Amino acid sequence: MAEQTIQIHDQLVLEPAVGLVQFLQQSKTLVDRATAGVLYRDEHGQSRQLELAGHQMSYGLARDHINLGVASNGVELTWQLSAAEDKRLRLEVKNRGPGTIHIVELRVLDVDAQRGGALGLASAPGTWRFYQHGWQSWSPTFARHLADGIWVNPNTEDYRTKHQPHEVPPGMKLVSSEWFTVIGSSRESAPEHGVPGPALLLGFISAADQLAEIRLGVSSELQFQSLRAVCYADGVPLAPGEKLSSETLLLTAGNDPFALLDSYATGLGETMHARVAAEVPTGWCTWYYYFGEESAEDVLSNLAQIQEERLPLDVILIDDGYETEIGDWTDVDHAKYPDGMKAAAQRIAGAGYRPGIWIAPFGTSALSKLYAEHPDWILRDQEREPVLAWQHWGKDIYALDVSLPAVQAWLQRTFRTLSEEWGFGFFKIDFLFAAALPGMRDDSRLTRAQALRRGMEVIRATVGDKFLLGCGAPLGPSVGLVDGMRVGPDVHVDWEPFWRDLSAPSTANAILNAVARSYMHGKLWLNDPDCLLLRPRGDDSNLVLNEMRTLTTMVALTGGLVLNSDNLVSMRRGRLEYLRRVLPPYGRSAIPLDLFQHERPQLLVLPVEASWGSWWIAALLNWNDRSCVTRMTLSQLGLPPGAYHAYNYWRQRYLGVTGDEVVIDPHQPHETVLLMLKAVSEQPQVLSSTFHVLQGAVEIKDVRLREDRLVVRMEKPGRQFGNLLFMVPEGSEYGVGTVSVNGRVQWPRKVSPGLWRAGFTLVDKATVELALG
């Protein structure tokens, strides 16, 4: 009996007598000898667990689904599996006993080497790449190398509170990812350095009710020990006759690990009814120059500068600092805003912009009036002490218990004031993780995920369709409630953080997360990579030119929100050109081709398809502190064989024609080389536009070749000087004459054989005609 196996649709192999399952895809093993289980507390408070492993399972097959069951001590488990290429797993627990039990963990998939469990990866764990997805906006996210790499655990109480929502079992070496992961192998481990073989995706495609985690256990010698996909029920009570289901786990494999992440985001967005706005917001934010010390006069003077410079921005975001204390949101600091926030919003709206405001709705200062008047609204720990969520400029900020109806009513009143009375139309809601911290809630039936969503649902219902930008937010439960999401740590005036911590504010950390989560954009929400800092190096910034250009490039290529946070009044006009060059956002994100090869991806590609042509934008980033030589082959980018023009955008340098590779020597420290690659044509063509970093994707609407001229129609809001570069093959039937811009004639300048440049100021619209003799 113990040897009996049952194969179902070439997708599952059951061992009913011992409670184990093998998952297959295209006749290859994904996961071998897996089981499921539940951790709970019985009616006497004793910790217990029940697994299918080690028990005789009951099973029932219906079409492409199978239910596996086991019962013991009044607890019944049902493991629901789909027998398809993309497998979906759910675990249901039912209380059939006489007393109430409390569910702690739902282990939807449990693979243990001690009972013969294994993963169907072709290489040893020392070569594996484990996509480590952080809990909230600022939590480190990258494809982690198990053998070595950039991961450092700060191991502080603050870090554990903000980034590690689950206790780590003692005595285990674990790597962990929230809600989902992809596990792949390095290219070096593949035969003859070829394709490394299928990667494995485990991801919960629902996230409204439970926090969830994928945990991989390895030994100190990097041998596989365990893999577990867990939903956290946080001790919710289950009365006799009641049942509780886990989130739905997707298990699948594919040769392209980034494509697996992309498809996962699509599935999660569909399940959670993601909100994806049609237009990507742009704007200006007070925070990274004033750091809460701005006044209404500062806001209005920057607004005036935006108007004078004709910068095509939409949102004016007043960040932290307008309130007297965290929690006392309607108690305005009148030394900074003497006429109040309603007046500030009216001035912004009256000038034709969308007023935005920052708020951390799920926390309150120990010095606030809110805490003094309502100490019973605070989330408490087991000792009935207030739960400390974070330190804000040296002040203790306590988490609110958003399960309380009184707190929900207060949230509604607060956001009604900000939205309806004051007139703000864009809300940056920050430090949202506070609502999901462990604690004793008034409603003990709510999990941490449900408590967070309950608070966010109140906010969404109050502000209606106005834009909500989440920040410091646990990502899974936020899908479907926010329009935009910060996807990385705070940007900073320094490239590296002051201490080794991938969650700490720094430009490098912000970029890493923005790239590693780029596939979420347009599927779960609009990504917010954080603000552009364009000011020169000096008293207000330590970023050198290459670092500023890298930040600008990555903000543009990841396709999300574009928010500047400089003092525009004192900004050099040349630096404002960098802002103009990323406006408007393209809306699509580049692909980090080496996400699973390098922990800090070095190569991104964005294929551009316009009605008048196509080309590729490639970004090559040197993370090193020293210059290096970078080689990039066209096959790495996925370009079809052929000859391509190569143009270095930031250096404004034509690199010639290549059919093989591009060599950057020297590639300077922290420099991103931004290349345009366009197929060589025998016909005259627009090679590049310097008006936008994507070189024609947003500002060139149409290009037409007529008998004696090349006609380019351009549209871009605002006023900007730039160049169009035309390639007219030498030796062809075409010559080069004058260029006219809206009828005004000038002579183009020859840059290199066949390449001509015309510079002009674009004011909203232009028709450019190159005469061909």
Domains and CATH numbers, the chain: 6-271 (2.70.98), 282-361+404-585 (3.20.20.70), 684-773 (2.60.40)
For residue range 89-123, list pLDDT tens digits in order: 999 999 999 999 999 999 999 999 999 999 999 88
Query: Per 3-state DSSP, what percentage of the chain is helix, strand, and coil (rounded to 5)?
Result: 20, 40, 40
| 192 pLDDT above the threshold of 60 | no
State which H helix or E strand residue 405 sits in. helix 405-416
Contact 344, 306 (CB under 8 A): no
Closest CA to 294 of 352, 333, 349: 333
Mean pLDDT of 370-374: 98
Region 697-704: mean pLDDT is 98
Told to judge if 490 belongs to the known catalytic residues of this protein, a careful annotator would answer yes
Instruction: Output the pLDDT for position 731.
Output: 82
Q: pLDDT digits over 391-419, tens only?
A: 999 999 999 999 999 999 999 999 999 99
Q: How far apart are CA 75 and CA 41, in angstroms?
A: 11
Residue among 318, 280, 294 at smallest CA distance from 569: 294
What values do phi and psi take at 438, rounded to 5?
-65, 145
| Average pLDDT value over all residues in the chain | 95
d(CA 375, CA 371) in angstroms, rounded, equals: 5
Catalytic pick among 320, 328, 483, 490: 490
Question: How many whole angstroms separate alpha carbon 438 and alpha carbon 365?
Answer: 18
pLDDT at 694: 98
- pLDDT at res. 3: 57
What band does 707 get if pLDDT is binned at 50, 70 and 90? confident
pLDDT value at 315 more than 90 = yes
Q: State the catalytic residue, choosing from 319, 328, 401, 430.
A: 430
pLDDT value for 188: 63
Residue 177 CA from chain centroid, whole number: 14
Catalytic, 528? Answer no
Residue 603 burial class via C-beta count within 10 angstroms: exposed 0-12, middle 13-18, buried 19 and up: buried
* H or E stretch covering 79: strand 75-82
For the chain, percent of residues with pLDDT exceeding 90: 91
From residue 241, alpha-carbon distances to 41, 51, 74, 98, 155 in Å are 16, 20, 10, 9, 42
Task: Write out 263-304 in H/E/C secondary structure.
Answer: HHHHHHHHHCCCCCCCCCCEEEECHHHHCCCCCHHHHHHHHH
Q: How confident is the model at residue 2 (pLDDT cuts 50, 70, 90)?
A: very low
Q: Percentage of residues in the chain with pLDDT exceeding 70? A: 98
Beta-bridge mates of residue 528: 486
pLDDT at 171: 66
Asked if the model's pLDDT at residue 189 lies above 90, the reply is no
Query: Quick one: pLDDT at residue 94?
Result: 98
Q: What is the pLDDT of residue 62?
A: 75
DSSP string computed for 207-263: -SS-EEEEEEEE-TT--EEEEEEEEEEEEEEE-TT-EEEPPPEEEEEES-HHHHHHH
Residue 1: predicted pLDDT: 36
Residue 57 has pLDDT above 80, yes or no: yes
Residues 6+ apart with CB under 8 A from 156: none
pTM as predicted = 0.96
Q: Is the pLDDT of residue 387 over 70?
A: yes
